Amino acid sequence: MRIGILGSGAVGRALAAGFLKHGHEVMVGTRDRAKLQEWIALNPTGAVGQFADAAAFGEVLVLAVKGTGAHEALRAGGVANLAGKTVIDTTNPIADAPPVNGVLKFFTSLDESLMERLQREFANARFVKTFNSVGNASMVDPKFAGGKPTMFICGNDEAAKRTVTGILVQFGWEVADMGKAEAARAIEPLCMLWCIPGFLRQDWVHAFKLLA
């Protein structure tokens, strides 16, 4: 598939390399191409452009920007370029205030997630929340002694979730579909929980697994 990635940070770069590794075509979008010089040297088959170039390029899009910049990045991507497309939403609504005893602050409430806000503004896109509850180093081909980890997903469009499930399985995940967009109210805060051992003990290597 052709994958357009909006975001040049650790997540955008890690997923872009992962999609290339698994045989997809990739363009990474940024406002500042200079940030990706090293990445492109390491991944010469990848392409770099503006947010709008990446959004136009991708059959499937990945949103991997700072939560506070998510609306702005998608506007820069261009509403017409989002039409009908699956948007893999990796973002977390982390506020600019510092964590308290290792617990991040969010700018959303438990009654409205960031993904619901994005789905409302960009109604022609098909958002699927995923990849937000693990560190970028474990997003592609995760290896844990405890076995295959679980990625929680949600979104309103079943076909988009099937597309994302296929990608997650290819990337080495078990998938737990938590339903419609409102489930992002529960999935986004998993990021808070995931980060606590990191902030308290510098332990950033772990993932969630759903046992039945």
Ligand X SMILES: NC(=O)c1ccc[n+]([C@@H]2O[C@H](COP(=O)([O-])OP(=O)(O)OC[C@H]3O[C@@H](n4cnc5c(N)ncnc54)[C@H](OP(=O)(O)O)[C@@H]3O)[C@@H](O)[C@H]2O)c1
Residues in contact with ligand X by CB under 6 A are: 7-12, 30-32, 35, 64-67, 69, 72-73, 90-92, 94, 132, 135-136
**Contact present, 132 and 190 (Cβ < 8 Å):** yes
Which amino acid does the sequence have at 37?
A: Q
172 CA to centre of own chain: 16
Q: Measured from the CB atom, is 168 or 212 closer to ligand X?
A: 168
Closer residue to ligand X (CB): 6 or 159: 6
Candidates 111, 108, 115, 146; CA nearest to 132 is 115
Q: How far is the CB of 73 from ligand X (least distance, A)?
A: 4
Our CB check for ligand X shows the closer of 14 and 160 to be: 14
Residue 198 beta carbon to ligand X: minimum distance, rounded to whole angstroms: 10
- Our CA dihedral for 108, 113, 116, 121, rounded to 10 degrees, sits at 20
Q: How far is the CB of 204 from ligand X (least distance, A)?
A: 8
Min separation Cβ 160 and ligand X, Å: 19
C-alpha closest to that of 178 among 143, 160, 152: 152
Residue 112 vs 212, nearer CB to ligand X: 112
